Amino acid sequence: MKTRSVNTRPYLDQKPGTAGLRRKVRIFQQPRYLENFLQCIFDCGGQFAGETLIAGGDGRFHNQEALQTLIRVSAGNGVGRLIVGRNGLLSTPAASHLIRQRAAAGGFLLTASHNPGGPDGDFGVKFNTASGGQAPESLTRSIYDATQSIERYLEADLAPVDLGRLGETDAAGMIVEVIDPVIDYANLMETLFDFDRIEALFAGGFSARYDAMHAVTGPYAAEILNRRLGAPADWLLNGQPLPDFGGGHPDPNPVDAADLVALINGPVPVDFAAASDGDGDRNMILGPGLVVSPGDSLAILAANARQIPGFEEGISGVARSMPTSRAIDEVARRLGVPCFETPTGWRYFCNLLDDGRIDLCGEESFGTSSNHVREKDGLWAVLFWLNLIAVRGQSVNEIVEDHWREFGRNAFNREDFFIPDAELGSQLMAELENSVPELDGRPVDGLRITAADVFAYHDPVDGSVSAQQGVRIFFDDGSRIVYRLSGTGTTGATLRIYLERRVTETDLLIRPAVELNAPLSTIARKLSRIRELTGIEQPAAVV
């Protein structure tokens, strides 16, 4: 074993965001960059000597090299056992499950989620703690501080370990255990859902497609949907994980998964379609002519939870990220359970899940999950919907429309403005925050602002406070506009504007959200002064 004590620059340029450290592949390829970051995790994350850790990634470009680096640094730091998914693959929810199942001290998830892969794409590293959840803000802050002064890293002198073969290898005193990445996760799903009902649905003339977007969920879907539930092979699309995701952008949204949307709206009758992102934690649910809004999906899952074996006893509470539509609030109110509003980023749900305060949670960015892991979970959401369709005997569209009729609809969509100059983006946000005190009571385009604030979160479990999590503006007709800057981009700044209108009129219920929110969009642009400040006229994306 060798301890390197060399000039360890480059140091980290920017703080890691809510989803770990995400940078261009070329930045990660710099000598010692990843070693430094990993060492800082070892120095700050706890006592890992002799312990078990989990490791795996979404299969993107640089995954294999990064895993070999991780093996050397882990062995150098005296880790007892490193459990790695075969070929370096582990979906994010499967990794979270393994950490918990194997009582590991933590896990490394090599992923940049839905960001493009390949030599010119992005790479990322997330560290999850023993709970299976993402490192808390206090830990990521101390890891970042450590990166600014690190002077040495520890690594074992090791030949690359073969990650294609199941079994154990001794790596300088550390056991590298290569496991099947799918089995444990698939077994967990079988305990939560009624596989017999879903199998019967599949055998009974129902037709579905699942798009793995050439990312990590391909092997998971093949095992669960095809092998265990009997789905025909051609229901699984893009099932082979590829280092560049086949040149696509592995993000399950109507823009990046346009082919799937076209397919379900095309001539071949398909009842249900779904997709997941690069690391398998996001989900998109489609019915013919319908993209289920993630906020609606969360609300519908909560309202129907008791019909699923995993939730037969009901749920104790729910949570959504602040920008996510308030459809779930309405369900929670009727169920008589608490509904928590957290900042953007999955990790804020983890304390609530660990403390038993919530069982279901979700974000507008196509992320939904429950207490079965400490990450969002794409395939879990797909199986939940399939289970629901099977027990209710209704189509996706019928389930959604029934929900709207019963609870009302929170028509929701988001506009992303890409501002190449990151500084300008921060300035725009600062001006918006400063304008908040003057907004109260102000009339605008026929509506009146009833409240506005800069969202701050007080964690009820550990008492920590997260300030400046976005600007919220509420209107007298129940509408809401939210602004925040993205924390996951690797260049420039992205201003996200979230629009939400409360709709109860029957004739409006099925109109497209973008259409229903057009007046709010005009107001949102006006209040942010985006055109005056940046010259930008149009959003880069509307989802």
Q: Which residue in 365, 369, 413, 517 binds ligand G1P (CB under 6 A)?
A: 365
φ and ψ of 508, to 5 deg: -95, -15
How far apart are alpha carbons 335 and 332 in whole angstroms?
A: 5
Q: Is residue 486 part of the contact set for ligand G1P (CB under 6 A)?
A: yes
Could you tell me which stretch among 228-236, 254-262, 353-361, 481-489 binds ligand G1P (CB under 6 A)? 481-489
Q: Candidates 193-201, 307-315, 329-337, 486-494 — which segment interacts with ligand G1P by CB under 6 A?
A: 486-494
89 or 231: whose CB is closer to Zn ion? 89
Min CB(346)–ligand G1P separation in Å: 5
Rule CB under 6 A: is residue 19 a binding residue for ligand G1P?
Answer: yes
Asked if 486 is an active-site residue, the reply is no
Tell me which residue has tokens 């699942």. 210
Of 182 and 389, CB closest to Zn ion: 182
Question: What is each CA distance from 20 to 113, 133, 177, 489, 529, in whole angstroms?
Answer: 10, 12, 25, 12, 31
**CA-based radius of gyration for the chain:** 23
- Least distance (Å) between residue 186 CB and ligand G1P: 23
Near Zn ion by CB under 5 A, which window of 21-29, 260-268, 276-284, 414-422? 276-284
Q: Does residue 363 touch ligand G1P according to CB under 6 A? A: yes
Matching residue, tokens 């990794």: 95
Q: Could you say which of 277, 329, 330, 500 contacts Zn ion (CB under 5 A)?
A: 277
Q: Which two tokens stand for residue 299?
A: 């609300």
Tokens at 24, concatenated: 């261009």
* Residue (69 or 113) nearer to Zn ion, CB: 113
Query: Cα–Cα distances in Å, from 102 out to 42, 57, 131, 138?
Result: 19, 18, 11, 25
Q: Single out the residue of 439, 451, 457, 453 nearest to residue 526, CA to CA.
A: 439
Does the protein bind ligand G1P through residue 238 (CB under 6 A)? no
113 lies in the site for Zn ion, by CB under 5 A: yes
Distance CA 85, CA 109 (A): 11
Residue 363 binds Zn ion, judged by CB under 5 A: no
Is residue 350 a contact partner of residue 134, using CB atoms and an 8 Å limit? yes
Q: In angstroms, rounded to a whole number, what is the distance separating the alpha carbons of residues 300 and 295?
A: 9
Residue 415 as a binder of ligand G1P (CB under 6 A): the answer is no
Verify binding: residue 251, ligand G1P, rule CB under 6 A: no
Per-residue binding string, ligand G1P, 316-335, x by CB under 6 A, is -----x--------------
Quick one: 380 or 455, whose CB is closer to Zn ion? Answer: 380
**H helical segments located in 408-451:** 422-439
Task: Return the number of the residue (12 or 112) whose C-beta is nearest ligand G1P.
Answer: 112
Of 300, 312, 327, 325, nearest to 395 (Cα)?
A: 300
In contact, 339 and 333? CB cutoff 8 Å: yes
Strand 541-542 to strand 493-503: parallel, antiparallel, or no bridges (unpaired)? unpaired
Is the CB of residue 296 less than 8 Å from the CB of residue 407? no
Scan residues 29-88 and list those touching ligand G1P (CB under 6 A): none
Dump the DSSP string for 364-383. Answer: TTTEEEETTSSS--HHHHHH
Q: Which stretch binds Zn ion (CB under 5 A): 272-280, 307-315, 409-417, 490-498?
A: 272-280
Binding site partner of 496, from Zn ion, ligand G1P, none, Cβ cut-off 5-8 A by kind: ligand G1P
Residue 277 binds: one of ligand G1P, Zn ion, none (C-beta under 5 to 8 A by kind): Zn ion
Rank residues 282 and 357 by Cβ distance to Zn ion and give the closer one: 282
Residue 63 near which of ligand G1P, Zn ion, none (CB within 5-8 Å, type-dependent): none
59-67, 144-152, 169-177, 341-349 -> range binding ligand G1P (CB under 6 A):
341-349
Interactions with ligand G1P, residue window 78-137 (CB under 6 A)? 113
Write the CA distances from 298 to 144, 340, 359, 365, 483, integer angstroms: 34, 13, 12, 11, 21
**Catalytic choice (74, 96, 113, 528):** 113
d(CA 221, CA 187): 13
Q: Taking CB within 5 to 8 Å according to partner kind, which of Zn ion, ligand G1P, none is near residue 488? A: ligand G1P
- Look-up of token digits 């939730």: 311
Q: Give yes or no for residue 469 binding ligand G1P (CB under 6 A).
A: no
Q: Tell me the one-letter amino acid at 425.
A: G
Q: Does 281 bind Zn ion (CB under 5 A)?
A: yes
CA–CA separation, 378 and 284 (whole Å): 8
How many residues at the interface with Zn ion, by CB under 5 A?
4
The reply to whether 342 sits near ligand G1P by the rule CB under 6 A is no
Rule CB under 6 A: is residue 345 a binding residue for ligand G1P?
yes
Active-site positions read 113
Q: Which residues of this chain interact with ligand G1P, rule CB under 6 A? A: 19, 113, 321, 344-346, 363, 365, 486-488, 496
Q: Which residues of this chain interact with Zn ion, rule CB under 5 A? A: 113, 277, 279, 281
